[in-house]
Structure 1
Amino acid sequence: MRIEEGGVEIDVADARDGASDGTGDGVFFNPEQELNRDVTVAVLRAYRARDDRVESYLDAMTASGIRGVRAADEGYDVTCCDVDPDAVDLARGNLERNGLAGEVVHRNVNALLHDRNRVFDVVDLDPYGTPIPFVDAAFANTRNLVCVTATDTAPLCGAHLESGIRKYGAVPRNTDYHPEMGLRTLLSALVRTAARYDRAATPICSHVSRHYARTYLELESGARAADTRLEELGHIYHCEDCLHREAERGFHADAPDSCSICGGDRILTAGPLWLGSIRDAEFVGNVRDAITDDMGEAKRARKLLETVATELETPTHYDQHRLCKQWGRPAIGMDEFIRQLENAGFEATRAHYSGTAFKTDATIPEMRDATGEDD
């Protein structure tokens, strides 16, 4: 079947809804990832404005070639890579169909990255499941920007704890802020991997949407810079009784024996997690401005990026419905909830993780007092 996306036309052998694992007849294509791809194109536009020397782009698991085709349409020097010969043929045909130049390689991407005389400016990893098997090669052989998608959200957020520990070298916990737990677990693993190659990886745009986490990491060479990024890692201590949480930087966890708010002793420790910013606010604003109306998910992308750019940088978000259930009171409109916190003198913003997610510098008792009467 032929589809149009972002001003290009491609043939796809198999369009599925994201529930598939990409196996079976035909080359996998996920229409549910159009928002991801629209934001990627906007990032490529904004990043070129940031550094006009950036030219080469590797679509590491190209499948239909849609990411590579769209990057080539933006003027990037594109290489598409896949281990599936049918995907290679399809990607090559889709570049030709749009009159675009690009190299298409039938090879394992790790071998390609380690065996080429060329270093790519931008490497895009969009595998099914975890990206971890590919990140060493990417960080060792990319000059400017590594783009990463992870769709294995259950291990990342702690729902499949043992799998998360094995894959990401961290202890994620399944909390009411599980989307952010997953993103910060992913960022921790990526920053630590980059540091092994004396590369500092800084998240300049990140988001969690539906069933995946996506991040764009700008690279800087040097052991000292890498050490600085590692200083942004640490642990979160989460009280299962009152939902209070505390963040502490450092590789050594020193969890409290009891909660400082309610005195409960059911404390979960998660980490090492990335506790720093998930984005460069100015850059995300530029990415939002680079979204154009010909993109199928333009409206959603602009709203998402606006929230990402403006949300507070505290390490975890809260869910208003979860808190109100804890307090035994009905939830109110999110705008009103945020306004009440601000009127009480606290910082508060929406968070992009869900429609009921928000961030604030208030403690949970302070939130309860600011947003309603005690029962």
Structure 2
Amino acid sequence: MRVSEGDVTVEAPDPRDGSSEGAGEAVFFNPEMELNRDLTVAVLRAFEDRTDAGAANVSRDEPDSEERTLSYLDAMTATGVRAARAAEVGYDVTAADVDPDAVELARENLALNDLPGTAVQSDANVLMHQERFDVVDLDPFGTPMPFADAAVAGTRKLLCVTATDTAPLCGAHFDSGVRKYDTVPRNTDFHREMGLRVLIGAMSRIAARRDVAVEPICSHATRHYARTYLELTHKATAADKALQWLGFVYHCEDCLYREHEFGRIAHPPENCPNCGSSRCSAAGPIWLGQVSDSEFVGDVAAEVTPNMGEWQRVSRLLDTLGEELDTPTHYDQHRLCKQWGAPANKLETFLEDLRDAGYEASPAHYGGTCFKTDASVDEIRAAAEPAAASDRE
């Protein structure tokens, strides 16, 4: 079938029959990832401007200050739709896949749109160890961890990573999460954020082995996947500083109290400091720092255009990300109210009550009833209960 996304049109297998004529059954097109691809295009546009601004501050006598087209690797290209969209916004694209049918389809789709680019048959790990690209996009089926080291080795500036194995990431499949991400994940009330921070933490540790620092400049957990855009700095001292953002989260399964601790050694409480429960879990090491740069997120939002199929959802997501507090966990308002046996009012009103009580509070993108605050569980309840009592009256 022929599919249009943004400013490109591509031939793709029909996902309803699981096959495509001339492309082979192994080539897969997922229409559910259009939001991911729309957001990627906006990030690429904003990052190009960010890179140009950085180059302007470099002396003209240095080679790095010369303007050039940024190179982009779609490491597992399948139909090549992501590569075609990157080429359309001006990147020097390489579309790679181990499947020769996918490579041929990606090549045909670049030609269909009169776009420059190269399609190559290669194992992603081999290619990323052989060559370096300004931007590498790693979007495998399942976990990205088998490709993570090679991706760091093959990336100069920006590493884009998707993980679709959300159950291991958030601790629902505990042993798999420990094995793949070299951490202790926990299936908590903030499980989607847990998964995102597990992913970034794992990537930061792998990058540090190569004296590379990661800085998440835009990240989100949406639908069935986690996605992060990591700006890389190739410097050992920067890698040391980045590792300081790793640490542990302690979470009470009874009263929902949580706290976090920076460092590589955990000191979990024996019992919950809030309610005394012995059901207090520890997760980590995970990334405790910010998962997005609010200024860059604003730049990305400015690059979203109405010709994108998911532009409205992308815009709403970016608006939330831009305002989201960088606390390492979030709360679910309905879960808290159920815990307290209290009715839940509008989230906007709920957050305004927290702000009136002197705390910071913002919606969180992980769900429609999710929010972030610097208040503790008891402080949240104290701020919310007067309003709940007023509603009952």
| Superposition TM-score tier, normalisation by shorter sequence | over 0.9
* 2:178 counterpart letter in structure 1: I
Please, which of 146, 163, 183 is the counterpart of residue 133 of structure 1?
146
- Does the 8 A contact of 1:58 with 1:124 survive in 2? yes
Hey, what does 1:270 align to over in structure 2?
A: 283
Q: Percent of aligned positions with the same letter in both sequences? A: 61
Hey, what does 1:50 align to over in structure 2?
A: 50
- Does the 8 A contact of 1:17 with 1:32 survive in 2? no
Residue 92 of structure 2 corresponds to residue 112 of structure 1? no
Hey, what does 1:76 align to over in structure 2?
A: 91
- Does the 8 A contact of 1:321 with 1:331 survive in 2? yes
What's the CA shift for 1:26? 5.0
Q: Describe the SS at the equivalent of 2:267.
A: coil
Hey, what does 1:29 align to over in structure 2?
A: 29
- Does the 8 A contact of 1:17 with 1:31 survive in 2? no
* 1:280 counterpart letter in structure 2: D
Residues 284 and 299 (structure 1), Cα distance of their counterparts in 2 relative to 1, 3 Å cut: same
What's the CA shift for 1:85? 1.1
* 1:84 counterpart letter in structure 2: D
Hey, what does 2:62 align to over in structure 1?
A: none
Hey, what does 1:150 align to over in structure 2?
A: 163
Distance in 2, Cα, partners of 1:141 & 1:90: 24
What TM-score, normalized to structure 1? 0.96
Listed as ranges, the matches of 1:83-232 within 5 Å are 83-116=98-131, 119-232=132-245
Residues 297 and 177 (structure 1), Cα distance of their counterparts in 2 relative to 1, 3 Å cut: same
Distance in 1, Cα, partners of 2:25 & 2:135: 30
Hey, what does 1:281 align to over in structure 2?
A: 294
Residues 156 and 363 (structure 1), Cα distance of their counterparts in 2 relative to 1, 3 Å cut: same
Residue 356 of structure 2 corresponds to residue 356 of structure 1? no
Distance in 1, Cα, partners of 2:276 & 2:324: 30
* 2:292 counterpart letter in structure 1: R
What's the CA shift for 1:342? 1.0
Residue 312 of structure 2 corresponds to residue 303 of structure 1? no
How big is each residue's C-alpha offset from its partner over 1:338-366, in whole Å with a ceiling of 9 and x where there is no partner?
A: 11111111110000110010001111111
RMSD, aligned α-carbons: 1.5
- Does the 8 A contact of 1:153 with 1:212 survive in 2? yes
Distance in 2, Cα, partners of 1:14 & 1:272: 41
* 1:103 counterpart letter in structure 2: T
Residues 337 and 291 (structure 1), Cα distance of their counterparts in 2 relative to 1, 3 Å cut: same
- Does the 8 A contact of 1:14 with 1:26 survive in 2? no
Task: List structure 1 segments (4+ residues) > 4 angstroms apart after TM superposition.
Answer: none
Residues 137 and 174 (structure 1), Cα distance of their counterparts in 2 relative to 1, 3 Å cut: same
- Does the 8 A contact of 1:235 with 1:273 survive in 2? yes
Listed as ranges, the gaps of 5+ residues in structure 2 are: 19-23, 53-67
* 2:7 counterpart letter in structure 1: G
Listed as ranges, the gaps of 5+ residues in structure 1 are: 19-23
Distance in 2, Cα, partners of 1:219 & 1:17: 40
Hey, what does 2:4 align to over in structure 1?
A: 4
- Does the 8 A contact of 1:337 with 1:371 survive in 2? yes
Hey, what does 1:327 align to over in structure 2?
A: 340
Distance in 2, Cα, partners of 1:89 & 1:332: 55
* 1:69 counterpart letter in structure 2: A
Q: Describe the SS at the equivalent of 1:224.
A: helix
- Does the 8 A contact of 2:27 with 2:102 survive in 1? yes
Aligned residue-pair number:
368
Hey, what does 2:40 align to over in structure 1?
A: 40
What's the CA shift for 1:14? 3.2
* 2:112 counterpart letter in structure 1: R
Distance in 1, Cα, partners of 2:16 & 2:296: 32
Between stretches 45-54 and 352-361, larger displacement belongs to: 45-54
Q: Describe the SS at the equivalent of 2:385.
A: coil
Distance in 2, Cα, partners of 1:17 & 1:173: 37
What's the CA shift for 1:330? 1.8
* 1:42 counterpart letter in structure 2: A
What's the CA shift for 1:17? 11
- Does the 8 A contact of 2:69 with 2:90 survive in 1? no
Distance in 2, Cα, partners of 1:267 & 1:239: 4
Residues 305 and 54 (structure 1), Cα distance of their counterparts in 2 relative to 1, 3 Å cut: farther
Distance in 1, Cα, partners of 2:69 & 2:120: 21
Distance in 1, Cα, partners of 2:17 & 2:288: 33
What TM-score, normalized to structure 2? 0.91
What's the CA shift for 1:115? 2.2
Distance in 2, Cα, partners of 1:295 & 1:10: 15
How big is each residue's C-alpha offset from its partner over 1:45-100, in whole Å with a ceiling of 9 and x where there is no partner?
A: 00000113561000000000011000000111000000111111110000000001
Q: Describe the SS at the equivalent of 1:372.
A: helix
Please, which of 320, 324, 328 is the counterpart of residue 315 of structure 1?
328
